[in-house]
């Protein structure tokens, strides 16, 4: 007797998956941390590999039956070494946040001083924010951006580093639209004897192809997620210099976690192979070109774009001059089929859960092969909705137009 299908066994979950599948086809996904994984990546992550437990590392496992698993992990590591020019790679972190925690465990003791870009200025929770374990177990000294142009002030970073002598210095962001100067961070870290960690979770796909400068070989350790611009599964990876390889590996396992998710490791290997193809570099350049085009179009329509534009895949929009809070705007846009997220902007007078801004990203729409012409249309739609976020008739009309557009640009990886 055949096993029951998901729809037969659990129709409620099957229905919800179908609904999400439909949503991902019929809406413009503009959340900067989202993308579409390929069909091949999804096949790997939905495979029998999810059944296998594999504590340890290749050739050094605690369970038997690892012949295939070891080869899969070694393939993922080899491909990533080639792609990023890294001396050592660990692909076992469950996501970007555990990858960052492994850096703390490898290099710091509780109470050590750390520095990272403050959350209100575009930094990540795990770079020392007070609500994160990283801000509770370590003495966090955040740096910020200049008020006049909202760019990271490297002189302030140097001044704070010389004053506080951090053990660990983070160069990484989650809502910052400009190129990071990793060499400048390296200089500061050397000046104060700090370990330099670069978090490229958002930009790893751009880094892999040279569209954004790489910190690999400059920073002591580099962390990343494996989705976002990289278009892989939901996982994490760490690149290090050889001298830190043992410390990082020990921090990941057994320091923080047990068996790796082998199905995810396989998906990472597939994504790394895809990223070596010539068309992938074209794709990552198109991500940036689309973000620039969207930013310019929004500026032309009276939107205030933080820093005036972007060098990467994301835009941060300050809606103060539109007299619409970020949450109101993001919810109205979502009803109109444009899914983004509300976000604080630098020096935001509003509260974090009800901020002034929007964060937009172009990885997912670029994966659908949408180009600059669509970005111009998107700017028109956004202008319409943000100008009248309670006009449900207009929202419904735009949502229909968005669905029609999406039908012409099939979403990769999933089938309706």
Give catalytic status of residue 126 as yes or no. no
Q: In what order do the strands lie in the sheet with 357-361?
A: 304-305, 314-318, 357-361, 341-343
Give catalytic status of residue 158 as yes or no. no
Q: Which of 228, 231, 327, 359 is catalytic?
A: 228
Give catalytic status of residue 53 as yes or no. yes
What are 236's strand-pairing partners?
225
What does the alpha-carbon distance between residue 26 and residue 19 come to, in Å, rounded to a whole number? 10
Angle between helices 278-300 and 372-387 (to 10 degrees): 40
Q: Which of 199, 220, 296, 384 is catalytic?
A: 199
Q: Which of 34, 43, 55, 87 is catalytic?
A: 55
The set of residues, in sequence order, having a beta carbon less than 8 Å from that of 303 and lying 6+ positions away, is 317, 319, 322, 382, 383, 386
Return the ∠ at Cα 41 (arms to 416 and 25), rounded to 5°: 25
Please return the burial class of 215, using the count of CB atoms within 10 Å of its CB with bins 0-12, 13-18 and 19+: buried
Q: Which of 241, 269, 200, 201 is nearest to 106 (CA)?
A: 241
Torsion of CA 166, 171, 172, 173, to 10 degrees: 80
Q: Which of 337, 295, 334, 339 is nearest to 314 (CA)?
A: 295
C-alpha count within 13 angstroms, C-beta hemisphere, residue 126: 21
Paired sense of beta strands 236-240 and 338-339, if any: unpaired
Residue-wise over 78-100: b if at least 16 C-beta within 10 A, else e? Answer: ebbbebbebebbbbbbbbbbbbb
Q: Which of 43, 53, 137, 289 is catalytic?
A: 53
Q: Which of 113, 223, 225, 226 is catalytic?
A: 225
Q: Which of 61, 81, 158, 234 is catalytic?
A: 234
What does the alpha-carbon distance between residue 145 and residue 176 come to, in Å, rounded to a whole number? 10
What does the alpha-carbon distance between residue 362 and residue 370 come to, in Å, rounded to a whole number? 9
Q: What is the DSSP string of 49-71?
A: GGG----EETTEESSS--HHHHH
Place of tokens 């396992």: 253
Give catalytic status of residue 354 as yes or no. no
Residues 360/294, Cβ–Cβ less than 8 Å:
yes
H/E/C letters for each residue in 131-187? CCHHHHCCEEEEECECCCCCCECHHHHHHHHHHHCCCEEEEECCCCCCCCCHHHHHH
Residues 318/349, Cβ–Cβ less than 8 Å:
no
Catalytic residues: 53, 55, 199, 225, 228, 234
């Amino acid at each position: 007797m055949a096993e029951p299908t998901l729809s037969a066994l659990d129709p409620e979950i099957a229905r919800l998956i179908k609904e999400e599948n439909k949503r991902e086809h019929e809406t413009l996904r503009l959340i900067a941390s989202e993308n579409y994984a390929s069909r091949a990546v999804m096949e790997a992550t939905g495979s029998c590999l999810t059944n296998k437990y594999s504590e340890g590392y290749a050739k050094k496992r605690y369970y038997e039956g690892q012949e295939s698993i070891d080869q899969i992990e070694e393939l993922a590591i080899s491909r990533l070494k080639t792609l990023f020019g890294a001396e050592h790679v660990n692909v076992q972190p469950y996501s970007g946040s555990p990858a960052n925690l492994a850096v703390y465990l490898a290099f710091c003791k509780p109470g050590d001083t750390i520095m990272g870009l403050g959350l209100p200025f575009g930094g990540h929770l795990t770079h020392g924010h007070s609500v994160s374990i990283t801000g509770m177990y370590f003495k966090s000294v955040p740096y910020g951006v200049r008020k006049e142009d909202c760019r990271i002030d490297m002189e302030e970073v140097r001044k704070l580093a010389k004053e506080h002598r951090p053990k660990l210095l983070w160069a990484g962001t989650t809502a910052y639209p400009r190129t990071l100067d990793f060499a400048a961070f390296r200089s500061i870290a050397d000046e104060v004897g700090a370990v330099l960690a670069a978090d490229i979770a958002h930009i790893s796909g751009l880094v892999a192809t040279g569209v954004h400068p790489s910190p690999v070989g400059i920073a002591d350790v580099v962390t990343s997620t494996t989705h976002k611009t990289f278009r892989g599964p939901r996982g994490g990876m760490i690149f290090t210099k050889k001298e830190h390889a043992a410390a990082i590996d020990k921090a990941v396992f057994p320091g923080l976690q047990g068996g790796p998710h082998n199905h995810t490791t396989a998906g990472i290997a597939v994504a790394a192979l895809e990223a070596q193809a010539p068309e992938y570099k074209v794709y990552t350049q198109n991500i940036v070109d689309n973000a620039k085009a969207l930013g310019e179009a929004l500026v032309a329509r009276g939107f205030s774009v933080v820093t005036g534009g972007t060098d990467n895949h994301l835009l941060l929009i300050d809606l103060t001059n539109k007299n619409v809070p970020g949450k109101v705007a993001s919810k109205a846009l979502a009803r109109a089929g444009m899914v983004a997220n509300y976000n604080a902007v630098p020096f935001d007078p509003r509260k974090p859960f009800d901020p002034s801004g929007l964060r937009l990203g172009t990885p997912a729409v670029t994966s659908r092969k949408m180009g600059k012409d669509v970005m111009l249309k998107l700017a028109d739609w956004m202008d319409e909705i943000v100008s009248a976020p309670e006009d449900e008739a207009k929202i419904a009309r735009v949502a229909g137009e968005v669905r029609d557009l999406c039908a012409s640009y099939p979403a990769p990886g999933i089938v309706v």
